[in-house]
Chain A
């Protein structure tokens, strides 16, 4: 009666490096539906729920990285053991040694998979030797789950938390599929206690919030980020000299929106899916382009990474060099941001991008007092005009930095800036709007929505949470259908997967 081709189904569920389970793909929607179904059936049995999530997460990771799911299990086992050893050891010296060993192990593994070829390139470039690049598979999400697991060990060392006795619970924290490939890099101290809740109770507010996040994440990713990149931004960035300054400038503004929508869209869906499973992950974005300074931006952008770097890298360096007073901040800022750049990928452009942010932050730190005095003199301190001005300046500093994040070489970046400064004619703007109407509308719309007050989001979530579940499902189905219609081609991989 039913002629099901099981080999096809098995092939669909097998590891395929070019086809991870992307949120929003049809396959993900189907398997997630079954997951939720069984998850609800097991609502009263905590153990069954946890096991289901563990196995589903391992399958999710296997689909993206194949045999490297074993690496994930090994990473979890090693970090769990280190957490226990550090906590139980009585001597501060041994604790310290264990921590150093643990950090070396984690970063060594990350370094091998991510940076080996970069170091080979450096050795070759500086003529220190001649080596051929090695073919190394990069297990997806390794930067994210390594940092997640390290946070557990570091917090135990800093006495911010006690280790969990359950290897199962710790593994779920590391494997948890919604945030394993691209964050948020959640904190063990906040996640693990949630596993121990006995009953699965999800409030109406959380359901409303989850639906809103999943829908907005999908629309951000498919409608704004993918559409803009395929139809406008990639074309300009691939050959900037073929376009005028106007197109280059709009591509630069567009890329700021694209990367935000791509990455925060992923985070939104991850947080939304987690809420439906009864877990609250940490916030990862808070309207970052509303920032009034670069420091403010880093409190709003990729919060889970910036707070990780602040707690475990910036603060220790700052304390180590504190005799140098404000210069200890400069050292800590520069080291943190260069490593933050390198965390994103093994290339000089990421290093430069990090360095540029470090430079922005250091300069603004020294200008803080004179600026304050100037604003006081002009009588504009705390005024709206000043805030608008600060947001605009910060946004443009960020837009400049994104160019270095996006391009492959300095030459490409200089070409883009060259076109903007040398071939900009505002009379071309109407022509540009006519030629790229949908992209122009999306850029304007995207930024307008970005600047809407947060209260609107809260209100929408609360309304969505109160309506009948059938209508909720219908609305969600409509948004998924709408996104599928807009989808220009195959769903584009999320930019942050490569990190």
Chain B
């Protein structure tokens, strides 16, 4: 499950209306409008800032979909 908070950060970074975009565990970055390879850096840094966490580069590179990213965030905040 993608948390409301993560959903909100992604949408606000990409300038999307929250209720117009559905993001599920298996959603890929390029399936979200505007989440291209360049904007990726903005999304990741926004998540780090909002949750006050710091990912290792390799951890982000291993994420295959938004679900993986959610798990990564959860693993950091539960530490």
Q: A246 vs B44: C-alpha distance in the bound complex, in angstroms?
A: 50
Cα(A315)–Cα(B57), bound, Å = 9
Instruction: Tell me if B44 and A329 are in contact (CB < 8 A).
Output: no
- Residues of chain A in range 309-336 having any CB-CB distance to chain B below 8 Å: 310, 314-316, 318-320, 322-323, 325-326, 328-329
Contact A329 B38 (CB under 8 A): yes
- A158-B62, A159-B62, A160-B64 are contacts. A320–B41 as well, Cβ < 8 Å? no
A310 — nearest CB in chain B belongs to which residue?
A: B37
Q: How far is the CA of A323 from the CA of B57 in the complex (A)?
A: 12
Chain B, 21-41, contact with A by CB distance < 8 Å: what is the 0/1 string? 000000000000000111011
Q: Which residues of A contact B61 (CB under 8 A)?
A: 158, 315-316, 319
Q: Is B3 an interface residue (CB 8 A)?
A: no
Choice from A314, A319, A326 contacting B60 with Cβ under 8 Å = A319
Number of residue pairs A-B, CB distance < 8 angstroms: 39
Distance between B31 CB and nearest chain A CB, rounded to angstroms: 15
Quote the shortest CB–CB distance from A294 to chain B (angstroms). 12
Is A325 a contact partner of B37 (Cβ separation < 8 A)? no
The answer for the CA separation of A325 and B49 in the assembled complex, in Å, is: 12
Indicate if the CB atoms of A325 and B41 lie closer than 8 Å: yes
Given the known interface contacts A319-B60, A320-B57, A325-B45, the answer about A365 and B38 at a Cβ–Cβ threshold of 8 Å is yes
Q: A322-B45, A325-B42, A325-B45 are in contact. Are A314 and B62 (CB under 8 A)?
A: no
* Chain A interface SS verdict (over half): helix
Across the interface, which residues of B come within 8 angstroms of A316, CB to CB?
Answer: 57, 61
Residues of B within 8 A of A158 (CB): 58, 61-62
A322 touches B44 (CB 8 A): yes
Residues from chain A with a CB closer than 8 A to the CB of B57 are 316, 319-320, 322
A310 to B45, CA, bound (A): 19
- Give the interface size class of chain B: 10 to 19
Q: How far is the CA of A450 from the CA of B50 in the complex (A)?
A: 47
The answer for the CA separation of A92 and B61 in the assembled complex, in Å, is 14
Complex alpha-carbon distance, A315 and B42, angstroms: 13
Residue of B nearest to A330 (CB): B38
CA distance A326 to B46 in the complex (A): 13
CA distance A159 to B45 in the complex (A): 23
Please give, as numbers and ranges, the residues of chain A lying within 8 Å of B64 by CB-CB distance.
160
Closest-CB distance, B49 to chain A (whole angstroms):
11
Known interface pairs A158-B61, A159-B62, A160-B64. Does A319 touch B37 (Cβ–Cβ under 8 Å)? no
Q: Which of A6-57 contact B (CB under 8 A)?
A: none
With A158-B62, A160-B64, A319-B61 known as contacts, the answer to whether A314 contacts B37 (CB < 8 A) is yes
A residues less than 8 Å from B36 (CB atoms): 295
B37, B44, B45, B57 pick with most chain A CB within 10 angstroms: B37
| CB of A167, distance to nearest CB on chain B (Å) | 26
User: Within A81-124, which residues are at the interface with B (CB < 8 Å)?
Assistant: 92
Complex Cα gap A284–B57 (Å): 29
Complex: how many Å from CA A365 to CA B42?
13
Decide if A315 touches B38 in the complex (CB within 8 Å): no
Q: Report the minimal beta-carbon distance from B16 to chain A, rounded to whole angstroms.
A: 15
B3 to chain A, nearest CB (A): 22
Give per-residue flags for A143-165: 1 if the beta carbon is below 8 A from chain B beta carbons, else 0.
00000000000000011100000
Contact B62 A329 (CB under 8 A): no
> Chain A interface (Cβ within 8 Å of chain B)?
92, 158-160, 295, 310, 314-316, 318-320, 322-323, 325-326, 328-329, 365
**Beyond the given A326-B42, A329-B41, could you list 18 further A-B residue pairs with CB under 8 A, ordered by the A residue number?**
A158-B58, A158-B62, A295-B36, A295-B38, A314-B37, A315-B37, A316-B57, A316-B61, A318-B37, A318-B41, A319-B41, A322-B41, A322-B44, A322-B57, A325-B42, A326-B38, A326-B41, A365-B38
Closest 7 CB pairs of A and B: A319-B57, A322-B41, A329-B38, A159-B62, A328-B41, A319-B60, A320-B57
10 CB contacts below 8 A, A to B, read A92-B58, A158-B58, A159-B62, A160-B64, A316-B57, A319-B44, A325-B42, A325-B45, A326-B42, A328-B41
